[in-house]
Amino acid sequence: MPIGIFDSGLGGLTVLDAVQQKMPDQPLIYFADSAHAPYGVRDADDVYRLTARAVQHLWDAGCDLVILACNTASAVALRRLQENLVPDGKRVLGVFVPMIEALTERDWGDNSPPREVNVKHVALFATPATVASRAFQRELAFRAIGVDVEAQACGGVVDAIEDGDMILAEALVRGHVDALKRKMPHPQAAILGCTHYPLVEAEFQAALGGDVRVYSQASLVAESLADYLTRHPSMAGTGGECAFVTTGDPKQVSDGATRFLRRKIEFLSA
C-alpha cells in the first residue's frame, strides 16, 4: 500500500526524494496543499483544520501511514490529530522525532528519564508558527536535560524557495543566521526545522561556520521511516509507484516541483 507524504507546499519533496532513494520499491502519494501555503504564518486552529483535511484525503486514497513532512503541521497539529482523529489501523507520524533521535543519540522508544547529552547549545531555524509552538523544545525535554535551545523564526525563506528565488532565499538565510548569532554566538548544532531548508543547507552551513553540526531532515526522516517499516511491515507496500496531488494549480505546482527536484514532476488536482 502507498505511504502518504504531506506538506503545505513543495518542501516535503525533499523527504519524498530521500525516501525514494532509501526505499525505491515503496509506493508513495505526495499531497501538496499549495492553495493554502505557507502554513508557517497561520494560527493553530487553521493549521489543524487544513492538516486534518489533507490527512483524510490520503487515508481515502489508501494510505494507512501518513508522514507530516511539514514542520508546522508536525509542531501544531500532530499531537491533536493523534489524540482525536486517527482511527484504528491508521498512523500519522511527524518529522521532529528523527531530528531529536539524532541530536540526543537515543531511540525514540527509549523511555528512560532525560539525561545530559554532549550538545549543550542548539540553534533552531524554523517557520514562525513552528517557533511559536515550542514543540521542538517540549519534545526535546522528554529526552535530554541541560540543552539550551535558541529559536530563530525564518520569515520569507519558504516563500522565496517556493517562488524559485534562491538568491533571495540565500540572502534571507544569512540574515536569519546573523540574528540567531546575536542571541547565541556559539551554537554547537543547528536544526533546520523545515523541509524546505535542505535546499539552502549549504548556505546555513557557510553562515554558521564549519564547526557547527547542521541537522537536516530529509535523510534522517527516510532512515527513520525505513526502520519503522521494518518494525511494522504491514504498513509497507511494493511497486514503487509515486503519485502527486495538489489543491493548487497543477501546472504551476508541477513546474515548481520540477525546478525543486530537477526532474519532471506532474501533479494532479486533489
- Averaged pLDDT, 187-202: 94
Over 80: is that where the pLDDT of 91 sits? yes
The identity of residue 214, as a single letter, is V
Are residues 210 and 223 located together in one domain of the fold? no
Question: What pLDDT, on a 0 to 100 scale, did the predictor assign at position 163?
Answer: 87
**CATH number, position 176:** 3.40.50.1860
Percent of the chain with pLDDT over 90: 78
Neighbour-count burial of 22, counting CB atoms closer than 10 A to its CB (0-12 exposed, 13-18 middle, 19+ buried): middle
pLDDT at 260: 87
138-184, pLDDT tens digit by residue? 989 988 999 999 999 999 998 899 888 999 999 999 999 999 999 99
Residues 136 and 196 both lie in one domain: yes
Q: How much is the pLDDT for 40?
A: 85
The structure's pTM equals 0.90
Q: Is the dihedral of CA 242, 243, 246, 252 positive or negative?
A: positive
Reply yes or no on whether 242 is catalytic.
no
Mean pLDDT of 225-239: 92
Q: Average per-residue pLDDT in the chain?
A: 93
Q: Which domain holds residue 119?
A: 105-216
Residue 113, classed as helix, strand or coil, is coil
- Catalogue the long-range contacts made by 183-187 (C-beta closer than 8 Å, 24 or more residues apart): 183/150, 183/152, 184/121, 184/123, 184/148, 184/150, 186/121, 187/121, 187/122, 187/123, 187/150, 187/212
Over 90: is that where the pLDDT of 216 sits? no
Q: Could you tell me if 115 and 209 lie in one domain?
A: yes
Compute how many other C-beta atoms are within 10 angstroms of the C-beta atom of residue 84: 9
Pair (194, 254) in one structural domain: no
Choose, from 63, 154, 194, 242, the residue flagged as catalytic: 194
Residues present in the chain in total: 270
How much is the average pLDDT of 78-83?
Answer: 93
Task: Determine which one of 63, 70, 154, 242 is catalytic.
Answer: 70
Cell numbers linked to 188:
554547537
| Residue 212 shares a structural domain with residue 257 | no
Confidence at residue 105, expressed as pLDDT on a 0 to 100 scale: 85
pLDDT tens digits along 106-129: 775 677 889 999 999 999 999 988
Residue 235 has pLDDT above 80, yes or no: yes
* Grid cell digits, residue 45: 486552529
Question: Across residues 37-61, what is the average pLDDT?
Answer: 94
Domains identified in the chain, total number: 2
Considering the domain architecture, whether residues 163 and 130 belong to the same structural domain is answered as yes
Are 232 and 192 in the same domain? Answer: no
Three cell numbers written together for 211:
564547526
Domain end (from 172, 197, 216):
216
250 and 152, same domain (yes or no):
no
DSSP-H helix ranges across the chain: 13-22, 44-60, 71-76, 78-84, 96-104, 128-133, 135-141, 157-162, 166-183, 201-208, 217-231, 250-261
pLDDT at 61 over 70: yes
Active site residue 70: yes
> In sequence order, what DSSP letters do the residues of 5-41 get, joined into one string?
EEESSSTTHHHHHHHHHH-TTS-EEEEE-GGG---TT
Q: Are 76 and 128 in contact (CB under 8 A)?
A: no
- According to the model, what pLDDT value does residue 31 have? 98
